């Protein structure tokens, strides 16, 4: 699998998929920005790991999937849930830890689910979703239902032992699993070069005998191309693929600030990545290619903002879970 | 005999130094940091490792700046690789270092379960003492703010089942320093479980190096009506409960057990033999947990002194929920402890019991 195709193919791809991708990305951006804006009210009493700056990866990968395909994610999961079509109201309600939240207020920000949309669950243990995704792939492979299972995880997850065990099993058993690594350079405040002797997850995946690429994770079109190829391969029963996406989180590891005052990353680095905003980049390309004009893009923002307003109003107004629910579903 | 051992033995049975000198106050996290810094200064074999130990937060201040003070060779960040790191800590300990491995949350320690349970805990025994495992694992626990099921577990009861591990849960800054120093000095693996809610609490902490013995609890408040034996943050709840019970004329004795394992049997049995009533308060699960062990022990060894069934206060057999209203229903506190005391005393008051009033 090559990282990115010729610019002509890319342009064609942009024409075909660009606008739909942008809509998903704007939804994630606006929703996460709303969480950020409202977090100081202290009504969302759960630790939030925002994915502002990383919207291209979930949007591009999930737009290659069907509802029946399974995804598994980490603590930084809101984008994956939304991109896969998860119910927005129930996500907001879960952030307020209310009864109508997607996890009934039991999960909070790090444990979200939407079974109908194939959002199977998310884990707060780094790397925890990777082996679980294998199992869903195994089920699809035994049933021959053409289903695909995707594990979303960060750069940090490839340091865990189970990551390596999982890659081996997936390749060995030719499972329809796609490993999507969002390499945002940091795990909490630790830079990837202080944690990894290897050069990213894709370099390891090749050693396990699966196609692997490292691409610009802020280029939605490139991620979409790579994901389409990986999904097609998995559906054909040819086994797993690995996509490492270089990206960057604008916010601090957890919470609503950018964390720049902590000094673990420089203002220059941050500015540089903000300039490479995946949403802005796609908007510009779309306008440039004549796929849509700025008025049409503004209309997307307006529509999305309305949806986000509605979701947060729903979340805030949702009743608290009853104490009786505490012992349900243990 | 290494310095650590010498000092620990020399102090094991003495009173805490500096208790009546001008009060020097530290927070719990400062006390932990001081213990590690002192051990590192005294012994070049002491190292501190863990995810984030050298980051700007320094594990809530408890490792802050150790990497600059002692150099990045002796205080270093780790990849997110807990199982290998636990094994590495064991290997380092076997080869003569005294590693301190820090987990920001106890839940992450589970990733190293194989090395911890199958290897660390048993290495000394399997080699018939030919090799020792002088390593400390610091694990933070906490509660609240929707941390939910995977960021809130208080698993001391689970690890209590593993032969070969010692477990301490300091409450006061003085004990945080003294117990951590004893843990570092000990020749076996010691788990130091620290409640995040205690981190900012201030308390008198002597400046010098001192050792609080492993396996020894403390009476934090004497009383004759009922014994409340507690761990970690529940000790604070127990003290608050005792204060309120005193206003009702009930004198509760509060024991800070400090060590989960070895359990201070003598302290516990002596207290229960006087009060005849026991409430056990744990930050962990009731089901097969520390409180179960304490209750069984008292049943076995002080059955005749008991005036009523041991009351256990702890977490229900349910994962931690995120929502604050469910957290409120989930976590016990001083009211639950008081209710336990009241249940015991109500038994005494009931007709057809041979005992008289609460002081009977
Ligand atoms: C097993 C385990 N170890 C440590 C942690 C603490 N922790 C939470 S998120 C995180 C960093 C994860 O980094 P990465 O995988 O790159 O994901 P990102 O946060 O960058 O999206 C760490 C160390 C954890 N949750 N689980
Ligand atoms: Mg990362």
pLDDT in tens, B123-170: 999 999 999 999 999 999 999 999 999 999 999 999 999 999 999 999
Strand partners, A72: A121, A151
- Residue A72 phi/psi, 5-degree rounding, is -130, 140
Residues 6+ apart with CB under 8 A from A151: A71, A72, A73, A129, A130, A132, A133, A134, A166, A177, A178, A179, A180
Flag if A187 and B55 touch (Cβ within 8 Å).
no
Domain B218-348 falls in which CATH fold?
Answer: Rossmann fold (3.40.50)
Answer yes or no: is pLDDT of B322 > 80: yes
A185 lines ligand 1 (CB under 6 A): no
Res A298: pLDDT: 98
The whole-number average pLDDT for the span B179-198 is: 97
User: Pairing mode, if any, of strands B252-256 and B25-27?
Assistant: unpaired
- Kindly give the distance from the C-alpha atom of residue A127 to the centroid of ligand 1, in angstroms, as a whole number: 8
Q: Is the dihedral of CA A191, A195, A199, A200 positive or negative?
A: negative
Answer yes or no: is pLDDT of B344 > 60: yes
Res A105: pLDDT: 98
Flag if A106 and B150 touch (Cβ within 8 Å).
no
Flag if B325 and A157 touch (Cβ within 8 Å).
no
Res B239: pLDDT: 97
A186 lines ligand 1 (CB under 6 A): yes
Res A182: pLDDT: 98
Q: Is the dihedral of CA B190, B196, B199, B204 positive or negative?
A: negative
Q: Is the minimum CB–CB distance between B147 and chain A shorter than 8 Å?
A: yes
Answer yes or no: is pLDDT of B3 > 80: no
- Choose the residue to mutate in A186, A187, A194, A246 for probing ligand 1, maximizing ligand atoms within 8 Å of C-beta: A187
- Kindly give the distance from the C-alpha atom of residue A155 to the centroid of ligand 2, in angstroms, as a whole number: 5
A126 lines ligand 1 (CB under 6 A): yes
Q: Is the dihedral of CA A268, A274, A278, A281 positive or negative?
A: negative
Chain A residues with CB under 8 Å of B79 CB are: 156, 159, 195-196
Q: Which of A97, A320, A326 sits opposite B146 (nearest CB)?
A: A97
CATH architecture of the domain with range A16-316: 3-Layer(aba) Sandwich (3.40)
Q: Classify residue A42 as exposed, middle or buried by CB count within 10 Å of its CB (0-12, 13-18, 19+).
A: exposed
| Structure tokens belonging to residue A153 | 């995880």
Specify whether the CB–CB gap between B297 and B263 falls below 8 A.
yes
Q: Which atom of ligand 1 is nearest to the CA of A128?
A: 1
Residue spans in chain B of domains classed CATH 3.40.50.970: 3-204
Res B9: pLDDT: 43
Q: Is the minimum CB–CB distance between B68 and chain A shorter than 8 Å?
A: no
Q: Is the ipTM of this complex over 0.85?
A: yes
Answer yes or no: is pLDDT of B1 > 50: no
Q: How many CA atoms lie within 13 A of A16 on its CB side?
A: 12
- Kindly give the distance from the C-alpha atom of residue B336 to the centroid of ligand 2, in angstroms, as a whole number: 42
Res B354: pLDDT: 52
A47 lines ligand 1 (CB under 6 A): no
SS3 A240: coil
Q: Is the minimum CB–CB distance between B287 and chain A shorter than 8 Å?
A: no
Domain B3-204 CATH superfamily: Thiamin diphosphate (ThDP)-binding fold, Pyr/PP domains (3.40.50.970)
Residue ranges covered by each domain of chain A: 16-316
Res A7: pLDDT: 82
Answer yes or no: is pLDDT of B13 > 60: no
Flag if A194 and B77 touch (Cβ within 8 Å).
yes
Q: Which atom of ligand 1 is nearest to the CA of A183?
A: 16
Beta carbons within 10 angstroms of residue A84's beta carbon: 27
Measured between alpha carbons, how far is A205 from A243 in angstroms, rounded to an integer? 9
CA distance B266 to chain A (A): 37
B166-168 β-sheet, strand order: B75-76, B46-49, B98-103, B136-141, B190-195, B166-168, B259-261
* Closest of B333, B133, B132, B135 to residue B240, by C-alpha: B333
Flag if B80 and A156 touch (Cβ within 8 Å).
yes
Across chain B, mean pLDDT equals: 92
Res B341: pLDDT: 98
Res B6: pLDDT: 43
Q: Is the minimum CB–CB distance between B323 and chain A shorter than 8 Å?
A: yes
Q: Which atom of ligand 1 is nearest to the CA of A182?
A: 21
Q: Is the minimum CB–CB distance between B330 and chain A shorter than 8 Å?
A: yes
- Kindly give the distance from the C-alpha atom of residue A178 to the centroid of ligand 1, in angstroms, as a whole number: 20
A188 lines ligand 1 (CB under 6 A): yes
Measured between alpha carbons, how far is A241 from A167 in angstroms, rounded to an integer? 9
Specify whether the CB–CB gap between B61 and B114 falls below 8 A.
no
Q: What count of CB pairs under 8 Å joins A to B?
A: 124
* Closest of B102, B83, B61 to residue B184, by C-alpha: B102
Measured between alpha carbons, how far is A26 from A49 in angstroms, rounded to an integer? 18
Condensed to tens digits (0 to 9), the pLDDT of residues B197-249 reads 999 999 999 999 999 999 999 999 999 999 999 999 999 999 999 999 999 99
User: Pairing mode, if any, of strands A186-187 and A190-191?
Assistant: antiparallel
Residues of chain A below pLDDT 70: 1-6
Strand partners, B281: B230, B313
Measured between alpha carbons, how far is B189 from B135 in angstroms, rounded to an integer? 5
A200 lines ligand 1 (CB under 6 A): no
3-state secondary structure B159-186: HHCCCCCEEECCCCHHHHHHHHHHHHHC
- Give, to the nearest 10 degrees, the angle between helix B233-247 and helix B334-349: 50
Flag if A195 and B55 touch (Cβ within 8 Å).
no
- Kindly give the distance from the C-alpha atom of residue A251 to the centroid of ligand 1, in angstroms, as a whole number: 15
A125 lines ligand 1 (CB under 6 A): yes
Condensed to tens digits (0 to 9), the pLDDT of residues B259-303 reads 999 999 999 999 999 999 999 999 999 999 999 999 999 999 999
Lowest mean pLDDT among B7-21, B43-57, B285-299: B7-21
SS3 A198: coil
Specify whether the CB–CB gap between B36 and B100 falls below 8 A.
yes
Nearest CA in chain B to A198: B79
Res A8: pLDDT: 86
- Going by CA atoms, what residue is nearest to atom 20 of ligand 1? A187
Res A9: pLDDT: 87
């Amino acid at each position: 699998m090559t990282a990115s195709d010729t610019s002509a193919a890319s342009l064609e791809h942009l024409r075909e998929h660009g606008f739909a991708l942008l809509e998903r990305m704007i939804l994630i951006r606006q929703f996460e920005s709303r969480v950020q804006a409202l977090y100081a009210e202290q009504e969302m009493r759960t630790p939030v790991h925002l994915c502002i700056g990383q919207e291209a990866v979930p949007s591009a990968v999930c737009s290659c999937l069907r509802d029946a395909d399974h995804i598994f994610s980490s603590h930084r999961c809101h984008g994956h849930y939304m991109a896969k079509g998860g119910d927005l109201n129930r996500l907001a309600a879960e952030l307020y830890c209310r009864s109508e939240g997607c996890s009934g207020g039991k999960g909070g920000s790090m444990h979200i689910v939407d079974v109908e949309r194939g959002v199977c669950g998310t884990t707060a243990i780094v790397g925890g979703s990777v082996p679980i995704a294998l199992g869903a792939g195994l089920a699809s492979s035994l049933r021959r239902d053409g289903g695909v299972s995707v594990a979303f995880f960060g750069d940090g997850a490839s340091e865990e032992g189970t990551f390596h065990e999982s890659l081996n099993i997936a390749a060995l058993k030719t499972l329809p699993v796609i490993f999507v690594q969002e390499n945002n350079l940091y795990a909490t405040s630790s830079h990837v070069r202080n944690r990894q002797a290897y050069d990213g997850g894709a370099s390891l995946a090749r050693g396990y005998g699966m196609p692997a690429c490292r691409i610009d994770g802020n280029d939605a079109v490139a991620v979409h191309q790579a994901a389409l190829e990986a999904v097609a391969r998995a559906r054909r029963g040819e086994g797993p693929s690995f996509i490492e996406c270089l990206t960057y989180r604008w916010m601090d590891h957890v919470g609503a600030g950018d964390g720049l005052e902590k000094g673990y990353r420089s203002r220059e680095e941050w500015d540089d990545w903000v300039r490479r905003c995946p949403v802005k980049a796609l908007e510009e390309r779309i306008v440039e290619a004549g796929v849509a004009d700025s008025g049409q893009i503004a209309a997307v923002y307006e529509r999305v903002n309305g949806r986000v307003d509605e979701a947060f109003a729903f979340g805030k107004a949702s009743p608290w879970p009853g104490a009786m629910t505490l012992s349900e579903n243990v | 005999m290494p310095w650590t051992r010498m000092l620990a033995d020399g102090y094991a049975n003495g009173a805490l130094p500096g208790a009546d000198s001008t009060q020097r106050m530290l927070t719990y996290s400062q006390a932990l940091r001081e213990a590690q810094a002192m051990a590192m200064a005294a012994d070049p074999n002491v190292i501190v490792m863990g995810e984030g130990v050298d980051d700007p937060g320094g594990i809530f201040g408890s490792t802050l700046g150790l990497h600059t003070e002692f150099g990045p060779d002796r205080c270093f960040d780790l990849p997110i690789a807990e199982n290998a790191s636990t094994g590495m800590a064991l290997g380092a300990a076997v080869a003569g270092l005294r590693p301190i491995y820090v987990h920001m949350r106890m839940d992450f320690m589970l990733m190293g379960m194989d090395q911890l349970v199958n290897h660390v805990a048993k290495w000394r025994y399997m080699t018939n003492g030919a090799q020792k495992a002088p390593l400390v694992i610091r694990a933070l626990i906490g509660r609240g703010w929707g941390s939910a099921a995977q960021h809130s577990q208080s698993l001391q009861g689970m690890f209590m089942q593993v032969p070969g591990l010692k477990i301490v849960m300091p409450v006061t800054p003085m004990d945080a320093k003294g117990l951590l120093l004893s843990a570092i000095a000990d020749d076996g693996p010691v788990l130091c479980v620290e409640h995040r809610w205690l981190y900012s609490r201030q308390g008198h902490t002597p400046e010098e190096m001192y050792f609080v013995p492993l396996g020894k609890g403390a009476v934090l408040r004497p009383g004759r009506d009922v014994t409340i034996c507690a761990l970690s943050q529940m000790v604070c709840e127990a003290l608050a409960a005792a204060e309120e019970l005193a206003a009702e004329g009930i004198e509760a004795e509060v024991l800070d057990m400090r060590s989960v394992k070895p359990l201070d049997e003598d302290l516990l049995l002596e207290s229960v033999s006087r009060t005849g009533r026991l409430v056990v308060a744990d930050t962990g699960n009731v089901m097969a947990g520390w409180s179960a062990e304490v209750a069984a022990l008292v049943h076995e060894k002080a059955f005749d002194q008991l005036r009523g069934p041991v009351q256990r206060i702890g977490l229900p057999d349910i994962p931690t929920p995120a929502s604050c209203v469910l957290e409120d229903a989930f976590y016990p506190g001083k009211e639950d402890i008081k209710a336990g005391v009241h249940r015991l005393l109500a038994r005494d008051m009931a007709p057809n019991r041979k005992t008289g009033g609460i002081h009977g």
